[in-house]
Amino acid sequence: MRVPEIAPDADAALLADEAKYCSFGDTVHYTDPPKLFERCEGSYMYDPSGTPFLDLQMWYSAVNFGYANERLNNALKRQIDHLPQVASQYLHREKIELARAIAVDAERKFGLPGRVHFNVGGAQAVEDSLKIIRNFKKGKSLMFAFEGGYHGRTLGASAITSSYRYRRRYGHFGERAMFLPYPYPFRRPKGMDKEEYGEHLVAEFARLFETEYHGVWDPKVGECEYAAFYVEPLQGTGGYIVPPMNYFKGLKKVLDQYGVLMVTDEIQMGFFRTGKLWSIEHFGVTPDVIVFGKALTNGLNPLSGLWAREELINPTVFPPGSTHSTFNANPLGTAVGLEAMKMMHETDYEAMVMAKGAHFLEGLKDLQKRHKEIGDVDGLGLALRAEICTEDGFTPNKALVDRMVDIGLAGDLEHNGKKIGLVLDIGGYYKNVITLAPSLHITTEEIDLGIALLDQLLTKAKRAA
């Protein structure tokens, strides 16, 4: 088949072909026209004209270690020349060594032996975790999950993702999760501090088990109808919400008391985004299952997976063939993932990320003093949030955020007399939160530049209102 040649810099022709030949079902066009990029390096992407765009979202936290990371790129190149392909019914060294690295780390941290199971995307790993939970819980298929939670858009993952819009056109989801309030400190009830708010929500959850008439618990046999609670330690798409530090410890106590498993979704917050390998480590609890993806390969080759404690995943209870994907544990992905794990072991990412995160958060707080439309700033490590509101500092202001995104992608901001752009991601319950996930290798100078560009952006967006 002859592939038509495309003339250089033919942006309009490319966009016309995209509009005609590409499914929009796997694409979200946040701007009109959609933005084209030509190359990337470090913390920057470049459009066809060569304009740099400082990226403060890094492919939704999939590129934690910077664009075109030389060490990880070289690992991919070596693997291509060594063992680029092998069917998953056979073994290769990189899969085994990567699984061992993750499992040994988990056993050291949580005191539990476990195993690692690979797939190719975050939603697929969530699907695999659902199979593991259903199997272990003798076919129970109901789950608890959070309002504002996002776990993917496959059918099973959509059932535990709170947004109805991801389910609306696909029939009735009879096994839809019970969605419970996530602790959202900025919008907590008046009169409560953060810790009281966390305790309050734990107590409300515990109420479900007080009597059979709350519908989840049979006290006569001591059995819950729900198998597991799917949690994001920090909500991702929900707006990078940092919960009260006491919340998950209280929640896990209730779950353990009533035999409900905890599955932590680390797809967006894993691999030192928050200053720990797993964000759940900040909260002093031990999960039963950890689901991961995105940054494990720095966006170079699809690879996701899960860690589950031995009791749930050993071959006696979860035998060969329980799930399968042609490309799971693929040698390119596992080779890069193994190199990434070695890099994380050799470098003190915890100290580095926490220091850079503190500097970035201070910059956001200073920005908040100059713009009353910034209602809340918060963060943990380099997972940061700025909630954009009206002038009252509380009412969500999606329109202002949308203008900011458009202006940032126009590439007309200024730095040292030259044009520059800014790449942002938007999340939150009201789509009014700038969710910041810069490269973990971002420099202090680039953080300061990001704050300065956000200042420009806000000023321009408010004038354009």
Could you give all domains of the chain from N- to C-terminal order, each with its CATH number?
Answer: 8-68+348-464 (3.90.1150.10), 72-346 (3.40.640.10)
| pTM of structure | 0.96
Distances (CA, A) of 213 to 170, 208, 210, 217, 264: 31, 9, 9, 8, 28
Per-residue pLDDT of the chain (465 residues; tens, 9 = 90+): 554 454 545 788 999 999 999 998 887 787 888 899 999 999 999 999 999 999 999 999 999 999 999 999 999 999 999 999 999 899 999 999 999 999 999 999 999 999 999 999 999 999 999 999 999 999 999 999 999 999 999 999 999 999 999 999 999 999 999 999 999 999 999 999 999 999 999 999 999 999 999 999 999 999 999 999 999 999 999 999 999 999 999 999 999 999 999 999 999 999 999 999 999 999 999 999 999 999 999 999 999 999 999 999 999 999 999 999 999 999 999 999 999 999 999 999 999 999 999 999 999 999 999 999 999 999 999 999 999 999 999 999 999 999 999 999 999 999 999 999 999 999 999 999 999 999 999 999 999 999 999 999 999 999 998
CA atoms of 324 and 124, how far apart (whole Å): 10
The pLDDT of residue 6: 47
CA atoms of 294 and 239, how far apart (whole Å): 18
33 cis-preceded (ω within 30 degrees of 0):
yes
| 371 token code pair | 């713009």
Task: Go through the chain and tell me how many residues it has.
Answer: 465
DSSP structure string for 162-208: --GGGTTTS---TTPPEEE----GGGPPTT--HHHHHHHHHHHHHHT
The pLDDT of residue 127: 98
DSSP strand pairing (44-46 vs 39-41): antiparallel
Side-chain-side CA neighbours of 406 within 13 Å: the count stands at 14
Find all residues with CB under 8 Å of 10, minimum gap 6, and list them: none
Question: Are the beta carbons of 154 and 124 closer than 8 angstroms?
Answer: yes
Contacts 24+ apart (CB under 8 A), 364-367: 364/451, 366/451, 367/451, 367/454, 367/455, 367/458
The beta strand positions in 217-301, using DSSP E, are 217-218, 223-224, 226-231, 261-265, 289-292
The pLDDT of residue 33: 86
Question: Are the beta carbons of 424 and 56 closer than 8 angstroms?
Answer: yes
**Residue 107 main-chain phi, psi, to 5 deg:** -65, -40
Secondary structure class of 62 (helix, strand, coil)? coil
Question: Are the beta carbons of 151 and 236 closer than 8 angstroms?
Answer: no
User: DSSP assignment, residue 243?
Assistant: -
Q: What distance lies between CA 22 and its chain's CA centroid? A: 26
DSSP strand pairing (44-46 vs 383-388): unpaired
